[in-house]
Amino acid sequence: MLPTVRAILANPRYTGHQVWNRQRTDHDLIDAANTTLGHRDVTRWNTTADWIISAQPAHPALVREADFIAVQHLSTARETAPGRIYLLAGLLRCGVCGRRMESRWARRRPAYRCRHGHTSATGPMPGRTPNTYLREDHVLPHLPALLLRLTHDDPDGAEPMALIASAAPLSPADAVAHLRSEAISLTYDPAASSLTADTPRAERITIG
């Protein structure tokens, strides 16, 4: 019974709307070290930001829209093991290859990485792009400044500190909640040590 309830609360179709593009098919190399082996089709789940949802209900709803959204907010902080919580799980993309960064516990703290499609099954390759790593504690202190840029009109390009001085105190938790509620992803550029929001204004902050 519990798995059934969990499935209903996780599937937006039960709000009565039609949903497309929840999954995609990637064509991955069977062996990056031997391209003659060709590709294989791998089905992966898209993030909620990539879903296409009908504007009007398509069938009777089992779950109210407000309840569905509330449940998604409750389950966004990922805990893969007792005490290991990733506040930014699913929010970060790699600026090198565009893939979603995966959560990883490193040196007793939450972090995120991207292996650019490589796995332990593929051996080292000459010239291979190094993995991208990002510690969560390097990001969180800068998120209030990003939140201000996302929620304030800033036609003159005011600096984050100027905005912070004129606004009510904000916390990293406020920023994370806003990113999730608005389905905003952040692209991490390791060369520039920056995060850029996938919004029309492409708000950007430096975290280095």
φ, ψ (nearest 5 deg) of residue 195: -125, 135
Query: pLDDT class for 154, splitting at 50, 70, 90?
Result: low
How much is the average pLDDT of 117-123? 63
Query: pLDDT class for 4, splitting at 50, 70, 90?
Result: low
How much is the average pLDDT of 66-84? 60
pLDDT of 49 strictly over 50: yes
Q: Are strands 186-189 and 194-197 parallel, antiparallel or unpaired?
A: antiparallel
For residue 167, tell me if it sits in a domain.
Answer: yes
For residue 150, tell me if it sits in a domain.
Answer: yes
For residue 49, tell me if it sits in a domain.
Answer: no
Average pLDDT score, the chain: 78
For residue 1, tell me if it sits in a domain.
Answer: no
pLDDT of 70 strictly over 70: no
For residue 139, tell me if it sits in a domain.
Answer: yes
What pTM does this model have? 0.56
The predicted-structure confidence for 59-69, as pLDDT tens digits, reads as follows 888 777 666 66
For residue 201, tell me if it sits in a domain.
Answer: yes
Residue 28 neighbours by CB under 8 Å, 6+ apart:
39, 40, 42, 117
Q: Greater confidence, 104 or 4? A: 104
Residue 204, Cβ density class (10 Å: 0-12 exposed, 13-18 middle, ≥19 buried):
middle
For residue 97, tell me if it sits in a domain.
Answer: yes
Find which of 21-25, 37-41, 63-67, 180-184 is predicted with most confidence, using mean pLDDT.
180-184
Domain tally, the chain: 1
Confidence at residue 48, expressed as pLDDT on a 0 to 100 scale:
64
The predicted-structure confidence for 94-107, as pLDDT tens digits, reads as follows 998 888 899 988 88
Count the helix, strand and coil residues of the chain and give each as a percent rounded to the nearest 5.
30, 25, 45
How much is the average pLDDT of 110-126? 73
For residue 171, tell me if it sits in a domain.
Answer: yes
Domain span holding position 95: 76-208
Q: Which of 17-26, 34-43, 71-80, 164-173 bottoms out in mean pLDDT, i.e. has the lowest?
A: 71-80
